[in-house]
């Protein structure tokens, strides 16, 4: 389940991505400040792979996704999508980009037009992209509905006639109707009942294999990420603080933030988190000196409070971490995991 399918070549490369927004400053902009929503992110995605992108709300995950989709212009950096550099291209190229990458949204109630039937929802993208033969459109709509576990005769119904899980299946069908190579899943099960989540996760995994898709799975729920991902990248305050193979991340987390997130996964025996991350995410307009996580970190020392974490460099084992005390923390995590099967914060 966690082994990448297909070739090992990259389908997506994100290099030094930054997205900054000017905030305040009045009419003349004299006191304008910069919100660094994303600040120097590097990511790679291989064909047939699922990359989990995790972090708290406000960490920059969705901003990265919108940049990859071409909906936000980066302040700096480069995005290479299926061999094409998409940064700096005209906004009109969004149409061509839509054939490569699509998105499954979090809320199936808000992401579907209540005035459109399922058929219209799936047919419109095909027409926009030049599919005009009625027989081809009907065949592709029927095939896609079957792929997501719905019946073709349900195509003439409206969204309110479906359950939440069925609506999300429609959202997945809409994302896949143009046969994209990459699908970004932005919290695709967080708005669903617990009983339905496993069905949607299993559907996404099945479609990934059947259609040869590559996924970016955005979530704050590490339980979902652990189940689906081949690799995991952890974001904090606009930066990647750790990335690597899913097993290495979950069994030997080397950044204290990653360790706290994993410790907060609910214990199935007690139905409650083992631990929580203390404090709140800092104000991105006024980030802390040194390591951004230091005000919330139990391992922080003077070096952490005055110097940013070391450059994020991938080691030969594929594990990369931005922390001065990563080796010590990883060793403690490995011992804790070996003792009781859970990483303690």
| Global confidence as pTM | 0.88
- Position 344 scores a pLDDT of 47
pLDDT tens per residue, range 233-269? 999 999 999 999 999 899 889 999 998 888 887 654 4
CATH number of 7-23+35-100+180-261: 3.40.50.300
List the domain boundaries for the chain.
7-23+35-100+180-261
pLDDT < 50 stretches in the chain: 4-7, 268-276, 341-345
- Position 112 scores a pLDDT of 93
3-state secondary structure the chain: CCCCCCCCCEEEEEEEEEEEEEECCCCCCCCCEEEEEEEEEEEEEECCCEEEEECCCCCCHHHHHHHHCCCCCCCEEEEEECCEECCCCCHHHHHHHCCCEEEECCCCCCCCCCCCCHHHHHHHHHHHCCCCCHHHHHHHHHHHHHHCCCCHHHHHCCHHHCCHHHHHHHHHHHHHCCCCCEEEEECCCCCCCHHHHHHHHHHHHHHHHHHCCEEEEEECCHHHHHHHCCEEEEEECCEEEEEEEHHHHHHCCCCHHHHHHHHCCEECCCCEECCCCCCCCCCCCCCCCCCCCHHHCCCCCHHHHHCCCCCCCCCCCCCEECCCCHHHHHHHHHHHHHHHCCCCC
- Position 271 scores a pLDDT of 45
């Amino acid at each position: 389940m966690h082994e990448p399918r297909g070739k090992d070549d990259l389908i997506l490369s994100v290099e030094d991505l930054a997205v900054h927004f000017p905030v305040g400053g009045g009419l003349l902009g004299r006191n304008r400040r910069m919100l660094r929503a994303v600040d120097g992110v590097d990511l790679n995605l291989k064909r047939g792979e699922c990359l989990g992108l995790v972090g708290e709300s406000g960490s920059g995950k969705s901003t990265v996704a919108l940049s990859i989709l071409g909906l936000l212009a980066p302040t700096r950096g480069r995005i290479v999508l299926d061999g094409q550099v998409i940064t700096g291209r005209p906004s009109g190229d969004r149409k061509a980009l839509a054939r490569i990458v699509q998105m499954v949204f979090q809320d199936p109630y808000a992401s579907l037009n209540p005035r459109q039937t399922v058929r219209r929802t799936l047919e419109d993208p095909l027409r926009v992209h030049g599919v005009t033969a009625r027989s081809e459109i009907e065949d592709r709509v029927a095939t896609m509905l079957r792929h997501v576990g719905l019946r073709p005769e349900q195509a003439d119904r409206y969204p309110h006639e479906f359950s939440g899980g069925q609506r999300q299946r429609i959202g997945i069908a809409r994302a896949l109707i143009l046969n994209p190579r990459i699908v970004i899943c932005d919290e695709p099960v967080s708005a669903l009942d617990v009983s339905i989540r496993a069905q949607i996760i299993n559907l996404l995994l099945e479609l990934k294999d059947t259609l040869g898709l590559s996924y970016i799975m955005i979530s704050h729920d590490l339980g979902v990420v652990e189940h689906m991902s081949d690799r995991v990248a952890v974001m904090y305050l606009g930066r990647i603080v750790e990335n690597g193979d899913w097993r290495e991340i979950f069994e030997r987390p080397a950044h204290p933030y990653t360790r706290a997130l994993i410790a907060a996964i609910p214990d199935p025996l007690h139905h409650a988190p083992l631990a929580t991350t203390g404090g709140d995410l800092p104000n991105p307009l006024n980030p802390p000196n040194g390591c951004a996580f230091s005000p919330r970190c139990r391992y922080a020392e003077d070096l952490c409070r005055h110097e940013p974490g070391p450059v994020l460099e991938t080691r030969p084992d594929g594990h990369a971490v931005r922390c001065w005390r990563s080796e010590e923390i990883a060793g403690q995590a490995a011992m804790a995991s070996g003792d009781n099967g859970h990483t303690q914060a």
